[in-house]
Structure 1
Amino acid sequence: MLKEQILEVLMETEAQVSVSIKDMSRNQWVIRLNDTHKMPSASIIKLLIMIEAFCQVEEKKFQLNQSLTIPKQDQIPHSMTTDLEENTFQFVDLVQLMITVSDNTATNVLIDLLGFENINQRAEKLGLKETVLSRKMLDFKAAKEGRQNLTHGEDAIRMMELIVTEQAASPPMCRRMMDILFNQQDREMLRRFIPKKVKVAHKTGDLPNLNHDVGWVLLSDMSYLIGVFVNGAADNLEAKTIIGKISKLAYDYFSNQSPALALVKSTTAPIQLKPAPDSEMADEAIAGMVVSRLKDSGGGWHLIRTDYGYEGYLHQRHMIMDEERAAYWKERAQDVIIKASADVLAGPRYQYHVKQTLVRGSRIILTGRESEEWTEVERPGGDKGWIRKDFAQPYLYPTNDPSNGEEQLLRKKLVQTALSYQGSQYRWGGRTPIGLDCSGLTSISYLLNGLLIYRDAVLKETFLNPISLEEIKPADLIYFPGHIAMYIGGDKYIHSRASANGVIINSLNPEHGDYDGPLKESITGVGTIFRQKEAGEWVQ
């Protein structure tokens, strides 16, 4: 359907149009039309120059904050570097100007610094087939001599994909490039007809009767690469409109697609800040979680989003990548483990061997078969085993609306859930009885009771209502700099603290032996998910 819609747009023009669209969530091509047809690159070539610039910074040839002076004879009229009446810039500023406003003076200075040969050798190293830098920007003499900067849609998509998947340079340098691309100021092509709120990292190109745009579009549950090149249009407005129409068709197509799902099969799995095994753990996946895959980051790593909106990188060895299985599990897994740990046995007796140990928060499917105090369960991988009946309870789908429960009972359940983690060790990013951090303790306690709060130790008013310390009640949350605790009543609060190596209880009362004065004095706020009007109606 998408291809037919795009072809209808192309029938309205005599221009040469190249279209490339790739689903980054599934790592699959969706559309490839004329994307190996070589065209003048216009400013798309600046993607290659940016990659080489950051690679040379890695090679210690330049520093990002290195000051550079632009001689007057190198300044091109109507460039921002010229209009600013400045002649000294940091190296990274030149890269930003080259990409975000397509500044030609900054580009030519960078070409001189980096070298034609190095830039074109970089194209070969990146596996680009038809991308070549033959002249500087606005070098009309060279253009008349037939020296043109060239590329095609396939190469442009490859450059963008290598940056997005952090393979064009080191991950930190690729992330700097992404920050720059997200700040692109030209909104007249890929972004012309799509909502302003949509995040797009892209680079545009513009010559008479020619316009290009290539970018990465990040939606709530998926992402895609898109490149549209138009050459020989009646005018630039026609070219930009074509790009805008095709971009809108792609946006509508992906907005109506089901997210690329995956099912967590490991007992626990680290969700990393970066796609690397030695990266800091940001969160923790638990068996039976269904996550959305936003992009394939290479090396088995996938950028994922949890059902409570947290993002990070999860390795595919921890997941079942079958979308039908994940969708089936999301619908059918109606129960959750509530004990600290639960051995899934091969049969309904303790003497049977352990197939897997699940932890509190693991989602399972009850098959309906029972034997005395045992019940049969289905695990994420599809095989079955047995657990004690009282080890599971119905799963409550999370919401940030507590109005479907009696307040005092719900507060009591939240406190009881938090107290059940007493004795667990501290684990940065963790949220299971094996180990958890401060926000892991509070967020999983709420999640297991069907309530959604922000995962980190930050009081977000979209999730909680700020109150005073004098108004605090059991299950309300106390915030400190970089830390969070749950109030449990009687001046006491429970929290997971690194300095205590785990989950402990402290007091707000100076007369209590477990009073922590410095911590109390550092309180930055108190929040509650419960907030009632005088008439007793719930408000959020």
Structure 2
Amino acid sequence: MLNEVKNILKDKSGITAIIIKDNKGNRIDINPEVTFPSASLIKLFVLLSVTKDDYKNKVKLKNDEKVGGFGMLQTLDEGLELTVKDLCYLMICLSDNTATNMLIDYLGIEKINKIIIENGFKNTVLGRKMMDMEGKKRGLDNFTSAEDVLKVLEILFQDENNLNILKKQMCNSKLPLYFFRKAEFAHKTGDLVGVEHDAGRLFLNNEYIDIVVLTKDLENNKDGVIINNLVGELVYNRYKTI
């Protein structure tokens, strides 16, 4: 399969990292330790920092917390009260940036980064909140690697609540494009200009396969989307008859 993956990449722009690992330990990877802008994959590490004790705690939406990009909370009225668990669903399933920032404020950037360090993630850092362009201008940003994303997914999937959240992902135009509704896929996407990511666990024939695709420095985001589409199709077709 490695040669088939390399064939997908040969005429595409940018830098790509890929890990494909099944539950039997079979694995292929390309650039697993290379650092990438995390885009919305940083939300996986925010989710990791939330405990079940936090779930029922409530947070009120404030106008000065609303930010653009993905999500619905930016359009809703100030004063709306949500549980931390509600915010987790919005952050992952709709990639809601306002929900993410509310969780970051609730937990604290320092605490999230401490948890990142304690879990041994080598290439991941939360440097700023979502859509914080001023922070970005000051050199603050969010980063991760394919290896770190695989590891955080493996930890998250040990908890049924987190698994259920990731299974309800609404953004399904990348890795699962060709197998959407044919197989269960728990995952999270991310994108910026020049960046297209998707990472998750495909459940198929009582087996599972973890797939991580990170891209950066794309001349056209279409290249990154196609890479994700074709890698997802390749893995699905390879494992569906096993």
**One fold, TM greater than 0.5?**
yes
Which of 174, 180, 187 aligns to 1:202? It is 187
Alignment partner of 1:31 is 2:21: no
- Give, as a single letter, the amino acid of the residue that structure 2 aligns with 1:5: E
Count of residue pairs the alignment pairs up: 240
3-state DSSP of counterpart to 1:216: strand
1:15 equivalenced with 2:14 (yes/no): yes
Q: What do residues 500-530 of structure 1 show as CA deviations (whole Å, max 9, x unaligned)?
A: xxxxxxxxxxxxxxxxxxxxxxxxxxxxxxx
Q: Is the 8 A contact 2:13 2:223 kept in 1?
A: no
Of residues 114, 121, 125, the one that matches 1:128 is: 121
Letter in 2 for 1:105: T
Q: Is the 8 A contact 1:230 1:243 kept in 2?
A: no
The letter for the 2-side match of 1:73 is D
SS in 1 for 2:215: strand
Question: 1-side partners of 2:38 and 2:165: how far apart?
Answer: 20
% identical aligned pairs: 31
- Please give the residue correspondences for 1:170-185 in structure 2 after superposition, counting only pairs within 5 Å: 174-185=159-170
**1:195 positional shift:** 4.2
CA shift, 1:255, in A, is: 1.9
Match for 1:216: what amino acid?
R
Residue deviations 1:454-481 (CA, integer Å, cap 9, x gap): xxxxxxxxxxxxxxxxxxxxxxxxxxxx
**Paired residue for 1:171?**
none
Q: How far off is 1:147 after superposition?
A: 1.2
- Superposition pairs of residues 353-392 of structure 1, within 5 angstroms: none
Distance 1:51 1:221 in 2: 26
Which amino acid is the alignment partner of residue 31 of structure 2? Answer: N
Contact 2:18 2:214 in 1 (8 A): yes
SS in 2 for 1:233: coil
**Post-superposition offset of 1:256:** 3.5
Preserved contact between residue 23 and residue 224 of structure 1 (Cα < 8 Å)? yes
Equivalence for 1:360: none
Higher mean displacement: 79-88 or 147-156: 79-88
Task: Name the counterpart of 2:75.
Answer: 83
**Equivalent residue, structure 1, for 2:210:** 225
Q: Return the alpha-carbon distance in structure 1 between the equivalents of residues 68 and 120 of structure 2.
A: 35
Secondary structure, aligned partner of 2:190? strand
Contact 2:174/2:198 (8 A) holds in 1:
yes
Q: Tell me the distance in 2 between the aligned counterparts of 1:41 and 1:15.
A: 15
Matches within 5 A, 1:303-314: none
Structure 1 position 148, deviation (Å): 1.3
Structure 1 pair 151/191, CA: closer, same or farther in 2 (3 Å)? Answer: same
Q: Distance in 2 between matches of 1:230 and 1:29?
A: 23
C-alpha deviation, 1:238, in angstroms: 2.2
- State whether residues 13 and 220 of structure 2, in contact with CA within 8 Å, keep that contact through their aligned partners in structure 1: no
User: Does structure 1 conserve the Cα–Cα contact (< 8 Å) formed by 2:127 and 2:140?
Assistant: yes
| More strand, by proportion | 1
Distance 1:41 1:66 in 2: 28
Instruction: Name 1:186's counterpart in structure 2.
Output: 171
> Contact 2:68–2:131 (CA<8 Å) still a contact in 1?
no
Q: Aligned-pair distance for 1:239? A: 1.1
Amino acid at match of 1:151: T
Q: TM-score, normalised by structure 2?
A: 0.94
Which ranges of 4 or more aligned residues in structure 1 deviate by more than 4 Å? none
Give the Cα separation in 1 of the matches to 2:97 and 2:147. 24
Mark the structure with the bigger radius of gyration: 1
Query: Which structure: greater helix fraction?
Result: 2
Corresponding residue to 1:114 among 107, 119, 124 = 107
- Give the Cα–Cα distance (whole angstroms) in 1 for the partners of residues 94 and 22 of structure 2: 27
Q: Give 1:12's aligned amino acid.
A: D
- Pairing 1:68–2:59 present: yes
- Equivalence for 1:378: none
Cα deviation, 1:77-128, whole Å, max 9, x if unaligned, reads: 4531122336321211111100001101111111111011110111122221
2:44 counterpart residue number: 47
- Which residue number in structure 2 is paired with residue 6 of structure 1? 5
CA distance in 2, matches of 1:154, 1:94: 26
Shift of 1:186: 0.3
Shift of 1:197: 2.4
Q: Distance in 1 between matches of 2:72 and 2:215?
A: 26
- 1:124 and 1:158 mapped to 2: Cα distance? 13
Q: Is the 8 A contact 1:68 1:89 kept in 2?
A: yes
Partner Cα distance (2:39, 2:109) in 1 = 16
- TM-score, normalised to structure 1, is 0.43
The 2-side partners of 1:229 and 1:177 are apart by: 21
Within-5 A mapping of 1:327-342: none
Higher RCO by CA contacts (8 Å cutoff, separation 6 or greater)? 2
Aligned ranges for residues 216-255 of structure 1 at < 5 Å?
216-255=201-240
In 2: Cα distance, 1:120 partner to 1:67 partner = 23
Amino acid of the structure 2 residue aligned with 1:84: L
Letter aligned with residue 14 of structure 1: S
Q: Please say if residues 58 and 81 of structure 2, whose CA atoms lie closer than 8 Å, have aligned partners that are also in contact.
A: yes
Out of 115, 138, 147, the residue aligned to residue 145 of structure 1 is 138
